[in-house]
Each structure stands twice: as C-alpha cells, then as structure tokens.
Amino acid sequence: MSFGVYVHIPYCLQRCTYCDFATYEQSQIMPPAQYFELLAQEIRQKASAFPKGHLSTVYFGGGTPSLVPAEHIVSLLGQLTSHGFTQDKSTEITIEINPATVDPKKMEQYLKAGVNRFSVGAQTFDDALLKSVHREHNSQQTLDTLHLLKSYDVNFSMDLLFALPGQTLQILERDLRKILEIAPPHISPYCLTVPEGHVLSAGRPMEEVQLQMFEMIREALMGAGFGRYEISNFAQPGFESKHNSLYWDDENYWGIGLSAHSYDRRRGWGTRYWNASAIGLYESQIKAGHGQQFTEPEQNLPQAQFERLEKHQSLTDFCHTSLRRDRGLLRSELQKKFGHPAEVLLSGVLAHQVETGLLRVLPDKSGWTLTEEGLLLSNQVFGALTFLAGEVG
Ligand SMILES: C[S@@+](CC[C@H](N)C(=O)[O-])C[C@H]1O[C@@H](n2cnc3c(N)ncnc32)[C@H](O)[C@@H]1O
Ligand code: SF4
C-alpha cells in the first residue's frame, strides 16, 4: 500500500490565458506566510484522517510552488513529520517549478529538506507562443533553469504544451529537438484544453494536425527510449512518477490546501473529498474548524465537498484510470475488486471497443489496452465506459 500527500500552492507570477487551476496572481492573494499558516492548521485538523506512517510521495503543485520562500516548503515537510507522516530517501518529493523562479540558494534549501524531484513548466521554447498565452518567462530562462537542475544532477520532469493557437508541426518539432537535447528523465506533454468559445480556441491547429502532433511527440520520445506509461506521461525506465501512479493505482491520498482533493478507499467503494477553490471560502472553512479534528466528511464538510462513491462510479474510475496506463485494464484486478457480474458486463462493452479498433486484447488475454488510435480518441472509449446508477449489479 502506498500513501501520498498533495499540497496546493496557489501563487503565480501571472495568470496564463489557458489556465483553469485554482491559483492567483501573487498580488491578488494573502502573503504566503498567512497561507502556510492555514495549511498548518489544516494539517493539525486532518492529521488523524489517514493512518500515520511512511509517506510514499509528497507533491507540491500549483500554482507555482517555487515562487514562495523555500522556508515554507521546508517547514511544511517538517510539520508532516511531526504529525507522524514520515519521509525518508525513498519518499518521492516533487515540487513544480516555473522557469526563472529558482536559484542555487533555493535549490539547496529544497535538497536539504529532501525534495528529490522537480517538475518544470517549460511548455514551449517558442518565445512568441509563450508570450501569446501570457507566460512570464522566455525560452532562455527555461534553459537556464534546466541547466541549473542538471548541475545538481537531480531527477526532473518537463511539461510540454502543444496544439496552441498558431503552433505548427515545425514549431513542435523544434521543441522536441530541444527537449531531447536536454534529455529529461520524464516528460508530460499536454494537448491544450480550453472550453468552447475561449479566446484560445481560435486559430488552433486543425484536429487532424493535432493528431499528427500527438503522433510526432510519441515517435520522437519512444525513439529516444522513453516509455509511455500513461496517456500524457513518458519516462525513461525507472523514472515513472510514483505520485502520478498512486492516483491511477487506487491508493489513498491526502490533498492539503486550496482546491486539493483527497481520496480514501478504506470504506465502501471509496470516498472523495475536496477543499473549496476560492481562497476566501477555504480560509473561512479552515478557521471554522479551529481546534476540531476531522473525523468523517459528513461531520466536517458541506455536502458539495465530498462524495461517497457508489459501485458504478468506482467501476467507471477503475476503467478510466487503468486504461490511461500502458499496462491496461487487467481482468484479474477487475474481478478482485468488482466481482464476476461486473466482469461479464464489462466484457461486452470492451469487446465492442475492440471491434471498433480503439482497444486491443493483451497477447496473453489477461486484459485490454488502448490501441494507437484509442490513445488519440480516448475520450470516446471513456464515454463508453462511464456507468450510471443501476447499470452495475
Ligand atoms: C497546474 S500547472 C502548474 C505548473 C506551473 N505553474 C506552470 O504553469 O508551468 C501544470 C501543468 O498543467 C498544464 N496545463 C495547465 N492548463 C492547461 C490546459 N488548459 N490545457 C492543457 N494543459 C494545461 C501545463 O502544462 C502545466 O505545466
Ligand atoms: S503559471 Fe501554471 S498554474 Fe500559474 S496560471 Fe500559469 S499555467 Fe496556471
């Protein structure tokens, strides 16, 4: 059993045009010291919600965690330890960093505190594109940050954003060449996702070019020895993110901070609960819980902030998360968690997806995975594998 902690740090230099995460331009939110005091209170309140012991992973995400003074990150890790959530060398401790927000002093503070994985929001090396989506950094600053990481010989990942308005296959090819020169052990390429009518939905590459982009990324990375262990995640062997894997492996996780989600699989079909995503509400909820211990979501959270999963929801999650991974949906795991009737129900749906060419049966018949076409059209497969109440016995 693995267990991980996610900590949300909602501070940014600027708001990127495409971003929908719960985060603020730094001048629009309380000073970091005040926010970390709320996190400290939340840790005190929820420390008994999960069994204490060794943490497999800690992930500081955002926002831009590298923007706040490193002392806060160091102190938070210490607070987890003092509440019985211990970390050692085997704990994967990741921090998301934006280019030009780290320097050697910060790096040394992180490393001393046990941070051992860095995720860099590079997005693209095309300065005009960076500017067009309101990114604060330029490609030279990204390179400087990556070289700083390399000089410390640390494990790091890069986020790449593609299918931006005005982006061509040639621009993407240049990005990929640059990335392969840098040779990070882990890369997360994300296709830009914006709602219909969004300012960035105009001028994007046509759908068929987007599919070519997906294919270009896959070929370049697989050709360079990366494995695609999940739809949007590629790693050199042994460098898969443990924290990401925990989400897809149905393990417990505790989310701390603004908008952070937690999952507890121990009761029934599992429980999800999440924090408010507006800072004012988050602050007032944490302050209202002062001196209290979190016991059950029903006691401590409004109805809109938790969900006791039913079997059909848990089966839906299981299908989606296992098919996102390269090892696929395994018959043995399906049977173990959901029993024979669910396996019968699912076999029919899966067989239909095999006929359409989006899924294939594993060679030893132990399960199913997405085909190349299925990876591109995964939303179609996930739609077919979304179950409603009453559909699953
Ligand atoms: C929450 S962001 C935090 C990382 C960091 N603040 C940054 O922007 O570099 C994590 C990643 O999500 C991706 N992302 C954010 N908004 C997205 C969108 N609308 N569509 C696709 N990917 C997105 C970006 O690649 C980003 O690096
Ligand atoms: S820096 Fe990252 S988290 Fe902040 S607004 Fe931009 S994409 Fe979102």
List pLDDT tens digits, range 328-352: 999 999 999 999 888 888 988 999 9
Calculate mean pLDDT across residues 32-59.
97
All structural domains of the chain, each given as residue ranges with its CATH number in brackets, are 3-246 (3.20.20.70), 311-384 (1.10.10)
The per-residue pLDDT for 363 is: 92
The per-residue pLDDT for 343 is: 86
What's the CA-to-centroid distance between 283 and ligand 1, angstroms?
25
Which ligand minimizes its atom distance to the CA of 122? 1
Is the CB of 306 within 6 Å of ligand 2? no
Structure tokens at 141: 């600053």
Calculate mean pLDDT across residues 28-45.
98
Global pTM? 0.96
Q: Residue 48's closest CA among 290, 254, 335? A: 254
Is the CB of 130 within 6 Å of ligand 1? no
Q: Residue 229's closest CA among 213, 208, 243? A: 243
What's the CA-to-centroid distance between 134 and ligand 2, angstroms?
10
What's the CA-to-centroid distance between 193 and ligand 1, angstroms?
10
* Nearest CA owner, ligand 1 atom 21: 192
Q: What is the pLDDT of residues 146-178, one digit of tens each?
A: 999 999 999 999 999 999 999 999 999 999 999
The per-residue pLDDT for 291 is: 87
Is the CB of 16 within 6 Å of ligand 2? yes
Which ligand minimizes its atom distance to the CA of 232? 1
Q: What is the pLDDT of residues 232-276, one digit of tens each?
A: 999 999 999 999 999 998 999 999 999 999 999 999 999 999 999
Which residues, listed in sequence order, are joined to residue 24 by a DSSP beta bridge?
11
Is the CB of 157 within 6 Å of ligand 1? no
d(CA 384, CA 316): 10
Q: Which of 19, 24, 96, 160 to mutate to test the pocket of ligand 2 (most atoms within 8 A of CB)?
A: 19
DSSP letter string, 55-119: -SEEEEEES-GGGS-HHHHHHHHHHHHHTTEE--TTSEEEEEE-TTS--HHHHHHHHHHT--EEE
